[in-house]
Structure formats: structure tokens, C-alpha cells
Amino acid sequence: MNSFLVISDTSVGYNINVGSHAHMGDNFINFMFFSQIKEFLEVNNIHINYCCWDKYHANLLDFCPTSNIHIYGINIPIDDINPKLPNDAYLLWQGGRTARLIPPDKNYYAEDVLVFMFNLFLQDFNLGIQVHNWIYEDPRIKVWHNQLSDEYKNIDLLIINSTPLSRQYNYNKSVWNSEIIELSKRYKIATTEFVSSDILCLDKFKLKDITAVSINVNYIIGINTGALLPLFNTYTLENVKKIYVFGGAFKHKKVVSNPPNLLSCDLTI
């Protein structure tokens, strides 16, 4: 095993120290994969000690794949980086080592890159399992949806216009605002960043609530950033007609990557 990988054998099982120095979306990706291997971790009594920036903790805790993170099931306590990852933490991130090792034929679609990244992590710890896709199911999402006010349950078009923080998309906010206002004349819209007082805005919503809204919308237009990634769940992907993504290539059959602009998206209802 490589020297920078640490598994601590304790009386309660194995502790694996993992973290990411990156943004919300990168951290959520990791939790999405943790949810896929939830049962494996529980059966083998493997505990993941996760480390990331403090400002992301509340949103990640909502998606922690266990009933009670402090008592039983998967134990994923989330600690602050403050100011950097501990030396014994495994950097789980699609850049860095993953980017250097990924085969060229796996380096185009986001799903392939992310699956490779997580399988590399599983291989490095000799866990003997693999993941095969980038999608997850969490029954809590339906509960969260039922708890929404009625005004958020019948949206034609959800727009993820949150500012991208990793330069994955050249975001022109004024152009997007203008096109969103034009679309709002024809569709009931909700956005994740404020555009106009006449357009429903989710900027005060937590990530789980944006996800809850998404499972009952006709279309999604989104920048490939943190608020978009939880929408790759089974409920949203089953119900949505199309997802238009700006700033990345995705292979899912319902995703159209990098259309010319918002107004070119086919939103036939």
C-alpha cells in the first residue's frame, strides 16, 4: 500500500481518512459515491473520516448516507480543513492524481472521469469492490419534496445559474439574466441565484431543497457547478424531460451538453 494511504485498524472497525480541498460540487460527488457503497461500508464496519471546508459541512451532512452519523451505520464525521488537509488524508478529487492516471478513453465524459476516480480510491484501499455509474438514490429526497411549499412543486424550468467557482464555464451573468427573463415570459421558472423579483429564486435554499424541487420539473438548464450535481439522482433523472448542461460533457441520455445558449434549448411542454 502506498505510504500516503492510512487505514487505522481499531476495535470498532477500520477508519479511512478522506478529504477534498475543492468546492461544494467536488465534495458532494464524493458523498454521492459513499451512498453507493453504504451497505458495503456498514457490513465491513468501515468508518470514513471526512475533511473539507467548514462552509460546506451543513449541506454535506444532509446527504450523509446513514440514519445517524454519530451512533450507528456509516460513521462519516465531517471536520474542517483548517487550513489544509491533514497529511494522512486521502485526497478524493477528480484533479491531481486522478487526472494524471485516467486513460484517454475515459477522459471525455464527466461520469467516466468520476467513476474512474472513485474506483481508484477503492483500489488504493484494497476494498475489493467497484462502482459502475454516477447516479444515486436517496429516499429522503421524496420526503424533502413533500415538505416544500406548493409554489415550489410545479416548476416548468429549474435553472442552476449559480456562479461556477472552478472556471469550468465562462459565465456571463448579464447575458444569462437577460435570457432567463425572456424564458420567464413563457415558463414558470425557479433559479438558484437571484435574477428578478418576478422570478422564483432558491438562493436561500439548502442543497437538499434544490434537489427536492428538481424531482418534479419538466426541464433543467444548469451550469456544471455544485448545485447541479445532486440532480443526478434517480428521481430527477426519471421524471425530467431534458437537462441542458453548460460547462462539461455528460453521457446520460437525458443530458444535452453545451447548447449555444439558453434560448436554443428545446423546452417543448
Q: Rounded to 5 degrees, what angle do the CA atoms 176, 180, 182 make?
A: 120
In CATH terms, the fold of domain 140-264 is Rossmann fold (3.40.50)
pLDDT in tens, 112-140: 999 999 999 999 999 999 999 989 999 99
Q: Which contiguous run of DSSP H or E holds residue 116?
A: helix 110-124
Q: What's the distance, Cα to Cα, between the start and end of the chain in Å?
A: 54
- DSSP letter for 35, please: H
| Sequence ranges of the domains in the chain | 7-124, 140-264
pTM of the model: 0.89
pLDDT in tens, 66-104: 644 443 334 566 777 777 788 888 999 999 899 999 999
Given the C-alpha cell 479511512, which residue does it identify? 16
Q: Exposed (0-12), middle (13-18) or buried (19+): which is 105, by Cβ within 10 Å?
A: exposed
